[in-house]
A and B are shown apart, each in its own frame.
Chain A
Amino acid sequence: MARPMDAPVLVRAINVTKSFHGNQVLKGIDMEVRTGEVVVLLGPSGSGKTTFLRCINQLETIDGGRIWVDGDLMGYEDKGGVLHRLHDKKIASQRRGIGMCFQRFNLFPHKTALENVMEGPVQVKKTSKAEAEQRAIELLEQVGLGDKPAAYPAQLSGGQQQRVAIARALAMDPKLMLFDEPTSALDPELVGEVLKVMRDLAAKGMTMIVVTHEMGFAREVADRVVFMDGGVVVEEGPPSEVIGNPQHNRTRAFLSRMRQEEAAHGRPPTTVDLSDVPAE
């Protein structure tokens, strides 16, 4: 699934730092994601993966460094070398091109599946209701929920809710999708249906940054795996290298812990078996 490495850069993060109450969580992250690329972020708990994703679409403000998405400097305007903080409304419009899926879905519980998907286009893009509904139905079909438009989130399983959440994000026609552990709140038997939707999305050429502990997904779908620990990028590369043949002790320790955990939970062991990863 190698993608042309000359595709334009969509996300460029340079030396991103972020602290919470003096506790530095991101310690200078550099990352480039090209259009159409699927990047999987791996790392132990507390390594700053969620924080970094949230910085990209400005749910957190960064302390240092710069993030550009599709050429836009996120959150600021550079006027002759002096940064000016953007107004909330400008920031809101920068976020339109970025879809985000959360670990806990965060669907709007007072709206049906269809209304959840229509909300963004109607309110933000001012699409007509009829047009938005048409598109929402298509998207629900795309994620395999064509039969559930009238269901409220509370009436859906976790896997179904996460798929509605993906459809909701896609309704804004984002150029970039961010996934923060989209399957870790799900029962094991529901993980597959969400991963399938994400796999289809990747196959359609969507640019994606995915935080996940699903090694199978990382090996099959990711163009690149980035391993983070303690707020820095420890190593990155194609999955066959980072997962198959990690260079750093921290990566190795993390992967072997993952393997033990998955074995303990009765899931098929990941990594080592590289038969489905094309040789680089």
Chain B
Amino acid sequence: MSSISNDADRPGAIDARPVRHPGRWVAIAVIAVVVGMMVNSAMTNPRWNWSFAAEVMQQKPVLEGLLKGTIIGTVGAMIIGVGLGVLVAVMRLSDNPVLRYVAFAYTWFFRSMPRYVLLATMGSLGYLYPVVDLGVPFAQSLGLTFAQLDVNALSRGLMFGILGLGLSEAAYMAEIARAGILSVDKGQSEAAQALGMSPGQTMRRIILPQAMRVIVPPTGNETIAMVKDTSLLLAMSITTELFFQTQAIGTRTLKIMPAYVAACAWYLIVCSVLMVGQSYLEKYFGRGFGPMPKKTKQKITKIGADH
């Protein structure tokens, strides 16, 4: 039937030489040298003072600042930011023009305010309104106050700082959430409506869970940025915060560089943990959208196979 008559003539398993990538080896060599020099200098220059940096990391005020200002600050600000941001995004996409304009105005204002300036301004609100009366509108003139808030005291508290960061964050989160909502196919809300679901149910049960797939990655980005922005709380004279506390030790002991190293190390650790959390969230909200982990695995093996 053909000239290929026996198995010996037929091509067998491929045993080819892979493509060479000399450039990669050069790059690895250069990186190795640079890293080696850095490590060498870090080990031999006593001014780095690693042991002191490690000690600073474990000081009680530093740990308290890390927990309260940095971690609780980030978590609190992001809870306000995500919750309010999604609400603003839904308002922005609503049929109701009043809600749409309010949402637009909110985003416009808080995106235009630098965080540092916003926090400093909020920290001084006590100057304008030393006390806030809680009651019906125009309560003061009507003599109907139920309770009073001492703004001066409040504005120096962590809660107020978290509120400020959260309000600012919500403006950015609103745009992220809006992009997520718009990324969901229109057929989804139509199918939900056809089942008789109300617009609210459709948003909560069908649109938002799918939008989360698009919302989570940039939110991880925002969260990590927030960890670092908690150092701006100082603008409100909030000092239970990681960077201020490490810096304070540095200035007091005149070992400034090791103190900075301690702060950097803590920021690196916190952000690494957050990145792990993000990948779990992405997996959760990516359910039903194909086996993502497998794809990643393929990519990794492909890179390996290229050599």
Contact = CB atoms under 8 A, between A and B. Distances in A.
A168 B196 CA distance: 12
Contacts of A165: 191
Given A59-B190, A102-B190, A108-B206, A120 B195 contact: yes
Given A104-B187, A110-B210, A92 B197 contact: yes
Q: How large is the interface on B (under 10, 10 to 19, 20 to 34, 35 or more residues)?
A: 20 to 34
B206 A92 contact: no
Contact of B290 (A100, A124, A154, A168): A154
B285 to A, nearest CB: 8
Contacts of B288: 109-112, 152-154
Interface residues of A, number: 31
Contacts, number: 74
Contact of A108 (B191, B201, B290): B191
A236 interface: no
A95 interface: yes
Contact of A106 (B190, B205, B289): B190
A93 B196 contact: yes
A59 B188 CA distance: 12
Residue of B187, B190, B196, B289 contacting most chain A CB atoms (<10 Å): B196
B205 A119 contact: yes
B210 A109 contact: yes
Interface string B170-186: 00000000000000010
Nearest to A94: B196
Contacts of B289: 109-110, 154
B198 interface: yes
A107 interface: yes
Contact of A110 (B187, B193, B196, B287): B287
A257 to B, nearest CB: 28
Contacts of B195: 95-96, 119-120, 123-124, 168-169, 172
A59 B187 contact: no
A167 B16 CA distance: 53
Interface string B191-231: 11111111101000110011000000000000000000000
Q: Which 6 A-B pairs have the closest CB atoms?
A: A96-B196, A106-B191, A152-B288, A106-B187, A120-B195, A100-B194
13 contacts: A92-B197, A92-B199, A95-B194, A98-B194, A102-B190, A102-B191, A108-B191, A120-B195, A120-B196, A123-B195, A154-B288, A154-B289, A172-B195
